[in-house]
Structure 1
């Protein structure tokens, strides 16, 4: 039996069948539904051939070519799907829920699978993602200058049961010129959005959602505009950490990285640091004086942070002194601080976020 279902139905099913994406490997790599597996009907090259035939000769010759290319593959597709879904329950989709997923659904149904064909395909999923970015959440943004331990604190809070989305983990980048840490490879923009939407779907809008204060770009990944607009107007807790604690934390984190990587990345921001500071920073790296290198580059990053802070509504910024070294104690301090907020703070934040949504949609 083949059932046509919207993507929302598959997402909401507690025991949803395996989702098979029948698009090409290249399409899948560019962006896919989290948890989906790729069983491509066409290879990358075959899809180009079919597309070219469609443009040059028309629909029917393109369909015939598609059958010629796929004909010997059907038994392999069925065996692959049996291995992936031995219970013979499966959902399939292509780009728009058209011929490719329809053909796969037909073949699997013939073999005895219970098949759900996702209506609208991956294109419909991308629309669902955009909706997640446009929802209103009870956002609280955790800010603080570089080295304040924001990411470490948020991850601790997540383990303790707070609603947290780690944007840097999703982007596989720590947000600075050195953010790749010389090892992380970022997802495509499309996949970053898909993964972010997938986490947002489970957020209870009546409870606080914690995000780290970020630039709109985290490396090459860009936070979707509707969510970014709400982040800029949300209540922000500005963590205040002693400067030397920040230097010590950053030296421990970045001191283990390859000196060549640090020097190369420092050279790439020489226009921001200035020629003399760049020279001194690189010399400190080469001589193993990591704390001195950190102090030099922090001058630039601190100025950048204060510039961004200055564009926020001062009434929505709440400074909070923490140790920066004792994550558990800092988490308690933060939660005690949050509990002391007047009820109107939450209402103000939601009102600001709702206004931001309208403003950015109008834009």
Structure 2
């Protein structure tokens, strides 16, 4: 059994080693290292019992109780690992909260069976420190801005397909960023796990040494907030504004949100009622009741276009560039790359 620091542990994962988080399912769902699999040594209730015994009656009493829980399923733990990894050769990576008894116990069992096992020194806690540190060192950014419906997310995906460094903040947050942004997407990750994924994404993007494309975002993406360092970097970076005709923007909004239930769309309009106004909100609800999602989307754009105009006006004018290329996402992405290269040739910092 070997101990690995966090950098070596993550490096082994990138090289293809399978990693297991032996904390409980509740701990795992709250936040985890991206890419690890959950292999809980204890159920949630069992961990509470063992932890209480450790505090009140000591280490040996807690170990005996823990063995009573784990003993009958030791075979199950080994078989689960073998099913994921294959033959008992490894390497297999294991961690718990602090690199203590849970990970050491599972590592002993797997090593006894024949796996080459490595334990994360400091456990998940060490990853949290590492992830937070990544968010303190923001790489150079290029920001894609534009009004609602221009397809900024699809443009970022096209940039990624072309080999550019991209961090899709809305993808990590599982939210499109507006009052309607959570529709049809399911639950957002916890704030802790959002930060874990963001730290990993920033670290990976930073390695290339190239500017990283991100979308222009406010502090909140749904119910998840961006770190202050990233917000400041976004606001201080060059923002390239993309645009699209109104009809194309409406088409995109209908394609994205048209399958959502009218009640959910109506609830979203209620959330912007104060800014949209009572009359416009009532008109939008009426359009939805009549099955005219497009008309409702047009009313929403009245609000979002005004909000965007105010936001872009707060940026330094010399850090805002309007792209004169429109069209399919890959065409706009190509225009962004050409603009980036032109800026680099002038020697202007991005």
What TM-score do you get using the length of structure 2 for normalisation? Answer: 0.91
Partner of 1:134, secondary structure, is coil
**SS of alignment partner, residue 204 of structure 2:** coil
Alpha-carbon spacing, 1:46–1:284, altered in 2? closer, same or farther (3 Å): same
SS at match of 2:322: strand
Distance 1:118 1:310, change over 3 A: same
- Report the alpha carbon displacement of residue 33 of structure 1 after superposing the two structures with TM: 1.4
For residue 28 of structure 1, report the CA deviation from its aligned partner: 0.9
Structure-to-structure mapping, 1:133-282, within 5 angstroms: 133-203=135-205, 204-282=207-285
In structure 2, the residue matched to 1:285 is 288
CA RMSD of aligned residues (A): 2.0
Deviation at 1:225, TM superposition (A): 2.6
2:28 equivalent in structure 1: 28
Alpha-carbon distance in structure 2 between the residues aligned to 1:142 and 1:317: 10
Query: 2:90 maps to what in 1?
Result: 88
Alignment check: 8 A CA contact 1:182 1:261 kept: no
Residue range with higher mean Cα deviation, 242-251 or 162-171: 242-251
Corresponding position of 2:60: 60
User: 1:197 Cα deviation (Å)?
Assistant: 2.3
Other structure's SS at 1:341 match: helix
Q: How do residues 127-138 of structure 1 correspond to structure 2 at under 5 angstroms? A: 127-138=129-140
Of the three residues 293, 300, 304, the one matched with 1:297 is 300
The alpha-carbon distance between structure 1 residues 321 and 3, as it changes in their structure 2 partners (threshold 3 A), is same
The answer to whether the 8 A contact 1:22-1:93 is kept is yes
C-alpha distance 25-237 of structure 1, shift in aligned 2 (>3 A): same
* 2:322 corresponds to which of 319, 322, 328: 319
Q: What does 1:93-112 align with in structure 2 at a 5 Å threshold?
A: 93-112=95-114
Q: What is aligned with 1:70? A: 70
Check 1:61–1:243 CA distance in 2 against 1; reply closer, same or farther (3 A cut): same
Preserved CA contact (<8 Å) 1:105 1:115: yes
- Retained in 1: the 8 A contact 2:139–2:202? no
**TM-score normalised to the size of structure 1?**
0.88
Is the contact made by 1:82 and 1:88 (CA closer than 8 Å) also made in structure 2? no
Note closer, same or farther for the CA distance 1:313–1:92 as it changes in structure 2 (3 Å cut): same
SS of the equivalent of 1:141 reads strand
Q: Which residue pairs with 1:360 in the alignment?
A: none
- Deviation of 1:258 after TM superposition, in Å, equals 2.4
Pair 229,205 (structure 1): closer, same or farther in 2 beyond 3 Å: farther
Tell me, in whole angstroms, the C-alpha distance in 1 between the residues paired with 2:272 and 2:303.
10
Contact 2:91 2:115 (8 Å CA) reproduced: yes
**Which residue of structure 2 lines up, in the alignment, with residue 126 of structure 1?**
128
For 1:359, the equivalent position in structure 2 comes to: none
Aligned residues: 346
Specify whether residues 124 and 260 from structure 1 end up closer, same or farther in structure 2 by C-alpha distance, changes over 3 A only: same
Question: Contact between 1:173 and 1:179, CA under 8 Å: does it hold in 2?
Answer: yes
Q: Is the 8 A contact 1:6 1:119 kept in 2?
A: yes
In the alignment, the residues of structure 2 paired with residue 136 and residue 219 of structure 1 have an alpha-carbon distance, to the nearest angstrom, of 22
1:216·1:222 contact (CA, 8 Å) conserved in 2? Answer: yes
| Contiguous gaps of at least 5 residues in structure 2 | none
